[in-house]
Amino acid sequence: MLGNFEYCNPTRLYFGKGALDNLQGELKKYGENILLVYGGGSIKKNGIYDKIIEILNAAGKNVFEVGGVMPNPTVEKLYEGCKAARDNKTDLILAVGGGSVCDYSKAVSVSAHCEADPWEKYYLKMEDVDNQIIPVGCVLTMVGTGSEMNGGAVITNHETKLKIGHVFGENVFPKFAVLNPEYTYTLPKYQMVAGIYDIMNHITEQYFSGTDDNTSDYLAEGLLKSLIHSSRIAVKDPENYEARSNIMWTATWALNTLIAKGKSTDWMVHMIGQAVGAYTDATHGMTLSAVSMAYYRYIMQYGMEKFRRFAINVWDVSPDGKTGEQIAAEGLDRMESYMKELGLAMHLRDIGVTEDMIDGIADATLSMSGGYKELSRDEIIQILRKSM
Amino acid sequence: MLGNFEYCNPTRLYFGKGALDNLQGELKKYGENILLVYGGGSIKKNGIYDKIIEILNAAGKNVFEVGGVMPNPTVEKLYEGCKAARDNKTDLILAVGGGSVCDYSKAVSVSAHCEADPWEKYYLKMEDVDNQIIPVGCVLTMVGTGSEMNGGAVITNHETKLKIGHVFGENVFPKFAVLNPEYTYTLPKYQMVAGIYDIMNHITEQYFSGTDDNTSDYLAEGLLKSLIHSSRIAVKDPENYEARSNIMWTATWALNTLIAKGKSTDWMVHMIGQAVGAYTDATHGMTLSAVSMAYYRYIMQYGMEKFRRFAINVWDVSPDGKTGEQIAAEGLDRMESYMKELGLAMHLRDIGVTEDMIDGIADATLSMSGGYKELSRDEIIQILRKSM
């Protein structure tokens, strides 16, 4: 049953081949000091950096830069961004990159004017924002996190081996996002499929919970079917605009609050995956894929009816002459085949996890209660071992 | 393929049993003069009127009223509302009712301060708004139009027999909407099922167009499946909160611009239905149901693959051993059975259309070009005759 909730998502999205043409109009809404945030420098190779600098210059903006944002943005990098944002009296943070760059920019936006230590305030204590927030705009070059239309901002502390996401409120959502599917063409296949699985897992994290009949679950099934269809095309033909555009749009709607409305959500794969990420610095989507099958095969018994529905509605499993459990298991088998077809990491050992890390990863995993089973530390260890 | 587009929907939704508790907070954002707009007076019988007046009084507002908004709001009623809004220096129009009341309130919001004749400017000439817009908030008591989260505002001119919808931009969207599914319990079954079919037709109008693979169509299929499931429960058990809440949420997302993104749309059933409405003043949803089967059976040949997909994905038609045409036809047969099961009007003669009106209705029908076939006047007449 649909529970009580509030829905408002104010982010303005510009989608399509000419989407960057709208940046000029957006820039007029903000002051003259722009902090340009980006990652490892691929935007300098593919020409996007030059295009954006040209638009910023034409708009008469003062441009300051924080480059080198890493795939799992660190707390030290956060402090660096905060100083740059403050020192340059930043009016707008322009994030150009994927989910890490967007997440990082949002973390800077709430932290730059925060008098307390932002890691402690927003990540360890999960406090609300009560200081000035610098507006953020995004130009997306990588797809997966949905960070362009939500308040999520994951930061990693390697010293304490903690990778934590704070989901901020809508006043922290990007004010606008430019989504041109062509910008994702040059991404290496490994990153592309990791992003695709991140999308899929965002949807299943919200889908596998509850026993009520909920419109959100039907929307989730629609998004999953679109994603499966388009991702199979995109891995073979990365410059297929139709497929890449559908994946980009699905990513946004997979995690912009819509499909969680009126229901509980799981998020345990992300909790385990984030702990793996804190230990290995592995690509986020691969930390999710590596633990997913062991997790879902374990949890299936506690949410059988939903796994049965998943098999039929998402993976086209024929229910004729089969028990609910057989149907559900067949659905997960098809999901596993699909994941292998995409080339996802299916084992933790493949992404740098060693036996000696397992206890630590289990300790660093936050146990959530919204899914079909709240996991004990022993169960998390069992899932990690099965995922090795 | 997903075309270029901009997406932003700023409406804030409060959903659930306690949703009206949020009205107080919203009222603080606006000035003291509130124009309360409602329909035939059912809100006075079911207690919603008293609750709202209490909240408005407690907030210290000056309340002015325009009641008696009819199911197909007329241009004369629009002028009355404009005068009331102007005379009382209205700061917020609070629409309490269904789609007609919301549509009407939006029409007043753009027309009250319009120096030209609003019917001519916004409906005959389809011009943009260039004057002050009075903000609108909604408390929904009837479900179907999606008017609570879009810019649509249909007005009827009985003198010239024209029922025209202007789809205004997001600055005209309601600022907030209160959606309590319980408020829809007391609606008579005839209105309830008409609203349900209005929802279904909003989705199919956006679904039956284009030959590309588009995420929007997968979302549309999800909404349709949720609607079919919940409506079958609701017609038998009108106070089933789960079903009514899913229907309410589906209605909002069926027509808040999302599922039209990146694709062309049809809207011919609405064009014919609105012309029928101008001639008969029949309930909107019934004007759509009465012409739908004849329309879709005629148009099927031009969009066979999509009708085939519709049959399989929405109506669970098994494709085994059948031609595409057989599958598509079986899908429409199942849709027809469902419509009869709900108790929808399946013939124009049942909602007041007489033979002598057919030429006039065809003349009053605007022909659209976004669907699978742009209809000639002869084809519209043929569909009207088949629908008698």
Rg (CA), chain B: 20
Q: What is the pLDDT of residue A49?
A: 97
pLDDT digits (tens, 9 = 90+) for B207-222: 999 999 999 999 999 9
- % of chain B beyond a pLDDT of 70: 100
Helix or strand holding residue B105 (H, E)? helix B99-111
Q: Which residue of A has its CA nearest to B228?
A: A215
Task: Read off the pLDDT band of A271 (50, 70, 90).
Answer: very high
Q: pTM of the predicted model, to two decimals?
A: 0.97
Closest CB from B18, B226, B248 relative to A4:
B18
Closest CB from B1, B16, B214 relative to A4:
B16
Instruction: Using a CB–CB cutoff of 8 Å, tell me whether B225 touches chain A.
Output: yes
Task: Read off the pLDDT band of B2 (50, 70, 90).
Answer: confident
Closest CB from A11, A16, A215 relative to B250:
A215
Instruction: Using a CB–CB cutoff of 8 Å, tell me whether B253 touches chain A.
Output: yes
Q: What is the pLDDT of residue B283?
A: 95
Task: Read off the pLDDT band of A2 (50, 70, 90).
Answer: confident
Q: Which residue of B has its CA nearest to A227?
A: B215
Q: What is the pLDDT of residue B1?
A: 56
Closest CB from B1, B7, B218 relative to A241:
B1
- % of chain A beyond a pLDDT of 90: 98
Q: Can you tell me the mean pLDDT for A314-341?
A: 98
Instruction: Using a CB–CB cutoff of 8 Å, tell me whether A138 touches chain B.
Output: no
Q: Which residue of A has its CA nearest to B178?
A: A6
Quote the mean pLDDT of chain B: 97
Residues of B numbered 170-199 whose beta carbons fall under 8 angstroms of chain A's beta carbons: which are they?
Answer: 181
Q: Can you tell me the mean pLDDT for B358-367?
A: 96
- % of chain B beyond a pLDDT of 90: 98
Quote the mean pLDDT of chain A: 97
Q: Which residue of A has its CA nearest to B176?
A: A8
Q: What is the pLDDT of residue A177?
A: 98
Instruction: Using a CB–CB cutoff of 8 Å, tell me whether A12 touches chain B.
Output: yes
Chain B residues with CB-CB distance to A214 below 8 A: 246
Q: What is the pLDDT of residue B31?
A: 98
Residue B93 has pLDDT above 90, yes or no: yes
Q: What is the pLDDT of residue A3?
A: 82
Closest CB from A18, A214, A243 relative to B4:
A18
Q: Can you tell me the mean pLDDT for A130-136?
A: 98
pLDDT digits (tens, 9 = 90+) for A11-66: 999 999 999 999 999 999 999 999 999 999 899 999 999 999 999 999 999 999 99
pLDDT digits (tens, 9 = 90+) for B267-308: 999 999 999 999 999 999 999 999 999 999 999 999 999 999
Q: Can you tell me the mean pLDDT for A70-90?
A: 97
Chain A residues with CB-CB distance to B253 below 8 A: 215, 219
Q: What is the pLDDT of residue A41?
A: 86
Closest CB from A13, A215, A241 relative to B246:
A215
Cβ atoms within 10 A of the Cβ of B89, count? 13
Q: Cβ of B242 and A8 within 8 Å?
A: no
Q: Cβ of B4 and A11 within 8 Å?
A: no
Residue A153 has pLDDT above 60, yes or no: yes
Q: What is the pLDDT of residue A1?
A: 56
Chain B residues with CB-CB distance to A245 below 8 A: 1-2, 262
Kindly report the nearest CA distance between residue B383 and chain A, in angstroms: 32
